[in-house]
Amino acid sequence: MPEQPGKNAIEVRGVRKVFGTGENQVAALDTVSVSIRENEFFTLLGPSGCGKTTLLRLIAGFDFPTAGEILLHGQDIAPLPPFKRPVNTVFQSYALFPHMTVAQNIGFGLEMLGKPKAEIEARVAQMLKLVKMEALKARRTSQISGGQQQRVALARALAPQPKVLLLDEPLSALDYKLRKEMQIELKRLQHETGITFIFVTHDQEEALTMSDRIAVMSAGKILQVGTPRDIYDRPAERFVADFIGETNFLQGTVVSKKTGVATVKFAGDATIAAGYPEGFDPSGEVTLVVRPEHADLVPDPAKGTIAGTLSNIVYFGTDTHYHVRLEGGQDFIVRHQNSRSSPVTYATGAKVGIQFEEDAARVLKY
């Protein structure tokens, strides 16, 4: 990888973090490397315990890596304690100081940096305006709602104008509607401030809608880094495909292979030529993944890519899920968006065909 100093806000190089000693050793991060660009909304996505929060804490300086380097604008920050890093955090629990007012909370970082009083006041006023909290600046943090606390936490972390803002599942404590609102608000703040955001979440939908790029993590490793589209449409691993969105997994066997495309036999006699990720050499048993909404249902079993029996129909309001039992015994789900006039109605037990384009399928390691 060519060095591009100044281009990357954060560069994590070969970072390992081991907790515990002796037999109880657990590697929370197993030699992770990733580059986060300037002005990027970067998301660390993964299930709980995957190491995403550990990585965030290492960047913030609350924990120190067992091995590896963390570079901020090309400078190694690993030896710096948190209070010397130009990086601020929005905590999951917000961690607002309960004995201070909203304004005092927001001004705390600047005060600790020894900024003159006038500057602090001006900056606090600016921040209060940015998060629309001017009216509540004299309130104690215990006297405001969860959504308002969230805004104060954001303003407090943004006030010192950090080079990078770290957000540790900041929306998880909010209810659904407020969360949607804050997602848009966060995007707006990132645009307005031009600060690099590193956002940690286990919510794949949140990650897809907000991020410029996503790193999918599992068991202390980064499995794939890419744009939301990359991750969703071209998952590099079975875990990524499974964790993000709904997916049909079909077992198959490679019959032939060209550059970037493998022909796979599956579900009895069906064959399809589908793409596979870089660095993977498909052969023998493989997994074929197809998103439910990338497939279509046809009434004539012979006209589809594969045939099956409709076993269940589940209505979801915006769309309908058709569960199809394939000949080999596997299940396949097809998602249809509902419209005012759905052309065909199906009944359970009907023989149907499933149709999908070759580029809708992807070949992954079994």
Partner 1 sequence: MTTATLSPIALSKAASFEAQAVKASARRNRLLSLPALIIIGIFGVLPLIIICVYSFLVAAPYGGVQWQFSTDAYLNFLFQRDIFDDTLQFTPDFLVIYLRSFLFAVVTTVICLLLGFPTAYFMATRPPAQRNWWVLLITIPFWSNLLVRTLAIMFIIRDEGLINNALLALGVIDKPITMLYTNFAIQLGLLYAFLPFMVLPLYSSLEKLDFRLVEAAYDLYATRRQVLWRVIIPLSKPGIIAGCLLVFIPALGAYVTPLILGGGIHLMIGDLIAQQFGSGRNWPLGCAQALILMAAVLVALFFYVRNTSGKVQHG
Partner 2 sequence: MAEPRVMDIKDQPGFRSIAIICLLVLYVPVLILMIFSLNSGSLVTHWEGVTLSWYGTALLNEEFHNAARNTLIISITATIVSTICATLAAIGMTRVKPWRGLAAAFMVINLPLMVPEIITAVATLSFFALIAGTFGLNFGIGNLILAHTVFCIPFAYMPIRARLEDMDLTLEYAAADLYATPWNAFRRITLPLLVPGIMSGAALAFIVSFDDFTITQLVAGPGQTTLPLYIWNQIRRPMTPEINAISTILLMVSILFVSVSFLIARRRAK
Nearest to 52 by CA among 25, 72, 32: 32
Vertex 108, ends 206 and 146: CA angle to 5°?
40
Provide the minimum distance between the beta carbon of 122 and partner 1 in the complex, in angstroms, as a whole number: 35
Does the footprint of partner 2 cover residue 26 (CB under 8 A)?
Answer: no
**Which region among 153-161, 183-191, 308-316, 354-362 touches partner 2 (by CB under 8 A)?**
153-161
The answer to whether the CB of 202 falls within 8 A of the CB of 244 is: no
User: Which of residues 96 and 267 has its CB atom nearest to partner 2 in the complex?
Assistant: 96
User: Which of residues 175 and 278 has its CB atom nearest to partner 1 in the complex?
Assistant: 278
How far is Cα 144 from Cα 150, in angstroms, rounded to an integer?
10
Provide the minimum distance between the beta carbon of 321 and partner 1 in the complex, in angstroms, as a whole number: 34
Does the footprint of partner 1 cover residue 77 (CB under 8 A)?
Answer: no
User: Which of residues 65 and 228 has its CB atom nearest to partner 2 in the complex?
Assistant: 65
Q: What is the token pair recorded at 171?
A: 């929306």
Q: Half-sphere exposure of residue 193, counting CA atoms within 13 Å on the CB side?
A: 26
Does the footprint of partner 2 cover residue 88 (CB under 8 A)?
Answer: yes
Binds partner 2 (CB under 8 A): choice among 89, 149, 190, 247: 89
- What letter represents residue 163's amino acid? K
Q: DSSP H helical segments within the chain, as ranges? A: 52-60, 102-112, 117-130, 146-158, 176-193, 204-210, 228-233, 238-243
Q: CB-based contacts of 315: which residues, under 8 Å, 6+ apart?
A: none
Does the footprint of partner 2 cover residue 160 (CB under 8 A)?
Answer: yes
Provide the minimum distance between the beta carbon of 350 and partner 1 in the complex, in angstroms, as a whole number: 45
Binds partner 1 (CB under 8 A): choice among 8, 9, 13, 199: 13
Q: What is the token pair recorded at 223?
A: 């499995």
How far is Cα 154 from Cα 126, in angstroms, rounded to an integer?
13
Q: What are phi and psi of 289, to 5 degrees?
A: -110, 135
User: Which of residues 38 and 111 has its CB atom nearest to partner 2 in the complex?
Assistant: 111
Does the footprint of partner 1 cover residue 227 (CB under 8 A)?
Answer: no
**Which region among 19-27, 94-102, 116-124, 220-228 touches partner 2 (by CB under 8 A)?**
94-102
Q: Which does 14 bind (CB under 5 to 8 A by kind): partner 2, partner 1, none?
A: partner 1
Does the footprint of partner 2 cover residue 108 (CB under 8 A)?
Answer: yes
Residue 117, H or E segment: helix 117-130
- The partner residues of 198 in beta bridges, in order of sequence, read 42, 166
Residue that has been written with the tokens 């149907």 in this structure: 352
User: Which of residues 61 and 282 has its CB atom nearest to partner 1 in the complex?
Assistant: 61
Residue 329, H or E segment: none
How far is Cα 305 from Cα 327, in angstroms, rounded to an integer?
13
Does the footprint of partner 2 cover residue 61 (CB under 8 A)?
Answer: yes
The answer to whether the CB of 15 falls within 8 A of the CB of 222 is: no
The answer to whether the CB of 285 falls within 8 A of the CB of 251 is: yes
User: Which of residues 111 and 203 has its CB atom nearest to partner 2 in the complex?
Assistant: 111
Does the footprint of partner 2 cover residue 62 (CB under 8 A)?
Answer: yes
Q: Which does 99 bind (CB under 5 to 8 A by kind): partner 2, partner 1, none?
A: partner 2
Does the footprint of partner 2 cover residue 68 (CB under 8 A)?
Answer: no
Provide the minimum distance between the beta carbon of 181 and partner 1 in the complex, in angstroms, as a whole number: 35
Does the footprint of partner 2 cover residue 123 (CB under 8 A)?
Answer: no
Q: What is the token pair recorded at 207?
A: 């990650």
CB-based burial label for 191 (10 Å; 0-12, 13-18, 19+): exposed
Q: What is the radius of gyration, based on Cα positions, of the chain?
A: 25
User: Which of residues 68 and 301 has its CB atom nearest to partner 1 in the complex?
Assistant: 68
How far is Cα 303 from Cα 355, in angstroms, rounded to an integer?
8
Does the footprint of partner 2 cover residue 46 (CB under 8 A)?
Answer: no
Does the footprint of partner 2 cover residue 87 (CB under 8 A)?
Answer: yes
Range 16-75, binding partner 1 (CB under 8 A): 31, 33, 64-69
| Binding-site ranges for partner 1 (CB under 8 A) | 1, 13-14, 31, 33, 64-69, 76, 78-79, 81, 222, 224-225
| Binding-site ranges for partner 2 (CB under 8 A) | 60-62, 81-84, 87-89, 91, 93, 95-99, 108-109, 112-113, 156-157, 160
